[in-house]
Amino acid sequence: MGAKKGSINGSKEENNVFASCSFSSLGLHPTLCDQLRERMGFEVPTLVQAQAIPVILSGRHALVNAATGTGKTVAYLAPIVHLLQGYDNRIQRSDGTFALVLVPTRELCLQVYEILQKLLHRFHWIVPGYVMGGENKSKEKARLRKGISILIATPGRLLDHLKNTSSFLYTNLRWIIFDEADRILELGFGKDIQEILDLLGSRKTGHDDQKNVVPRYSEIQRQNLLLSATLNEKVNHLAKISLDNPVMIGLGGQKIELMSTESLNTSESEDNEDNYSNKVPTVGEYKVPVQLIQKYMKVPCGSRLPVLLSILKHLFEKELSQKVVVFFSTCDAVDFHYSLLGEFQFSSYPQTEANRQMFLGCKTFRLHGNMEQEDRRTSFQAFKYEKSALLLSTDVSARGLDFPKVRCIIQYDSPGEATEYVHRVGRTARLGERGESLLFLQPVETDYLQDLEKHGVLLTEYPLLKMLDNFPLYGQKNLIKKSVFIDSHPWVLCLQKALESFIMSKHKMDELARKAFCSWVRAYTAHRGDLKRIFMIKKLHLGHVAKSFALKQQPSLVGKSFQKQTKRKRNEKKIGLFKKRKVASVT
Ligand SMILES: Nc1ncnc2c1ncn2[C@@H]1O[C@H](COP(=O)(O)OP(=O)(O)OP(=O)(O)O)[C@@H](O)[C@H]1O
């Protein structure tokens, strides 16, 4: 599992994460405490677990806000397992589902399921299960028919089963948990959630399929929980309709004023943003792990690619055991860089067949929403358990995923909203461990730093020139003339040239680069709200953007396909398709 064991006498960083009490003092069953200690290696609860577990055991609804990597998953799963194992009438599969955990992505679904399996090891009568997009529906139906006590689900697939799987029994449902609640809404699942809540809430009046089933546990009171590292006013609607007098955990005294609302539909809520943002105080600062070192680098557009490759080379040469995640804005960009890194050979000596070698020798994986489900699963699992590897991903990896020992997060394409920045960097520095993050910004984008600052997120500049100066050209380190500009740095120029020749020489790579260029531009124009002022396509030189995909073509050539794309985008916008497609591209 790679989880760090908590100890009461831990280091300074650990003391920011772990509580000075035991799991049993929180009221959990001794067998469950043994399980946490022996099978999972958890000696003591984290701070958020120490706060949340007693509240959840008491039956109160809760809103839980705690930094990334602080153990929120066990904070809600452990008390549910405790309460379920304690029923006088031991629960059976035929009782159907008691707890439902909703998560935004498939990988998170599998991850929560894995943790749940471990927690349930000695409670064999409580059955864990999951349903999610991309899986075989009939197999899921069969599993639901047999009965799943604690079900983890992505919203779309759950709704499908609620509507179409008559044997799915949820009359005994007691808990609904929204893990990464804000993200579920951002992904446009608002309507699904509304419908899910309506369907589940209708159990007392009798949903058609559940009409004749008398709940075996009629005393059951519903208890709902919302969790995220970035709970903000956007979850207001969801909190209002799903939580009853909730306890706020980790909101530092700031209250989210729960507004009444008719709809959870994200697009509607965006349109009304001005209306409600006046009334609702924003939950100011986001919590980023204190030990995380956050840097940014100012990189001219046309030098982005050689700088990315250089920083990766630097990181993997610096530490033998290195795990790095690079975030891109689109699936096509992931595919392009993945293929490039898998094939690009280079020598800073005059190039001959003999002296060329792979530019980057590390194991590389990719993860995005356009991959086949099986490939997605393999990548996710493989990167998780590798000691040294690189993962190239879209935001599908940004939320909740717990990859042990990731040391560095690179945001090559900027994340957009500050919430996404926080979750992306949260894939490192988990549970008090060290970690570093690097944000690429073009000179025209540096106002984004002020946007982050508004949320209490402060970055310092990475010494990029110093790092680049360390790369020897023709093996003669001290012959390099020190450059004060990134884009005229000899190493950057040499690498860019080699990259362009490589792309030109491979038809497949050239195609991937063009495709990636087009979707990158589309994604760039899709920034919303205030961010539109910072990330303006008009401020960019499209020729330089093309260069960042190692494309030598005249901008006008590439520009044609861009024009086609933007035209299509305009049409899609008219019929409301664009947003949906953007969402689909990350999940
Ligand atoms: N009490 C504990 N002692 C030691 N390790 C723990 C403890 N609780 C959780 N962990 C480990 O800490 C890591 C982070 O936990 P988890 O993924 O639940 O964090 P999170 O707060 O949900 O993060 P995110 O906001 O990114 O989703 C996991 O590897 C988990 O196994």
Helical pair 331-343 and 304-318, crossing angle rounded to 10 deg: 60
* Owner of token pair 């008559």: 166
The pLDDT assigned to 215 comes to 55
**DSSP code of 512?**
H
**DSSP code of 133?**
T
* Owner of token pair 């008219």: 574
Q: How many CB atoms lie within 10 A of CB 377?
A: 17
CA distance to 172, 268, 569, per residue, from 343 (Å): 54, 45, 33
Ligand 1 atom with minimal separation from the 5 CA: 4
Largest Cα separation within the chain, whole Å, is 84
Residue 17 Cβ inside 6 Å of ligand 1? The answer reads: no
How far apart, in whole angstroms, are the C-alpha atoms of residue 103 and residue 95?
Answer: 23
Beta bridge partners of 389: 323
Q: How far is the CA of 289 from the centre of ligand 1 (A)?
A: 13
CB-neighbour burial class of residue 546 (10 A; exposed 0-12, middle 13-18, buried 19+) = buried
Beta bridge partners of 128: 150
| φ/ψ (deg, to 5) at 575 | -100, 15
Ligand 1 atom with minimal separation from the 45 CA: 1
Helical pair 72-85 and 106-119, crossing angle rounded to 10 deg: 50
The pLDDT assigned to 513 comes to 96
Mutate to test the pocket of ligand 1, among 424, 430, 433, 437 (most ligand atoms within 8 A of CB): 430
How far apart, in whole angstroms, are the C-alpha atoms of residue 69 and residue 52?
Answer: 15
How far apart, in whole angstroms, are the C-alpha atoms of residue 128 and residue 110?
Answer: 11
> Closest Cα to residue 499, out of 544, 427, 547, 434?
547
Beta bridge partners of 100: 151, 176
Two tokens at 543? 């020729």
Mutate to test the pocket of ligand 1, among 38, 114, 286, 402 (most ligand atoms within 8 A of CB): 402
Average pLDDT per run of 10 along the chain, which is 587 residues long?
A: 40 70 97 96 97 96 94 98 95 96 96 97 97 96 98 96 96 95 82 90 45 56 92 81 90 48 41 31 71 97 97 93 96 98 83 73 96 95 96 95 96 93 96 96 96 94 94 61 81 95 95 94 91 93 95 59 53 44 40
The pLDDT assigned to 566 comes to 52
How far apart, in whole angstroms, are the C-alpha atoms of residue 363 and residue 387?
Answer: 10
Residue nearest to atom 20 of ligand 1 (CA): 69
Instruction: List, in order, residues 6 or more apart from 540 with CB less than 8 Å away.
Output: 301, 442, 444, 524
Residue 45 Cβ inside 6 Å of ligand 1? The answer reads: yes
Determine if residue 415 is left, alpha or beta; phi over 0 gives left, psi from -120 to 50 gives alpha, anything else beta. Answer: alpha
How far apart, in whole angstroms, are the C-alpha atoms of residue 468 and residue 466?
Answer: 5
Q: How far is the CA of 4 from the centre of ligand 1 (A)?
A: 9
**3-class DSSP state of 347:** coil
**3-class DSSP state of 442:** coil
CA distance to 35, 105, 171, per residue, from 82 (Å): 12, 26, 20
DSSP line for 240-254: HHH-SSPEEESSTT-
Residue 158 Cβ inside 6 Å of ligand 1? The answer reads: no
> Closest Cα to residue 434, out of 408, 458, 456?
408
The pLDDT assigned to 473 comes to 72
Ligand 1 atom with minimal separation from the 423 CA: 26
The pLDDT assigned to 190 comes to 79
Residue 70 Cβ inside 6 Å of ligand 1? The answer reads: yes
Secondary structure in 3-state letters for 350-395? CCCCCCCEECCCCCEEEECCCCCHHHHHHHHHHHHHCCCEEEEECH
Residue 1 Cβ inside 6 Å of ligand 1? The answer reads: yes
Q: How far is the CA of 43 from the centre of ligand 1 (A)?
A: 13
Beta bridge partners of 327: 393, 411
End-to-end C-alpha distance for the chain, whole angstroms: 24
Q: How far is the CA of 73 from the centre of ligand 1 (A)?
A: 6
Q: How many CB atoms lie within 10 A of CB 475?
A: 9
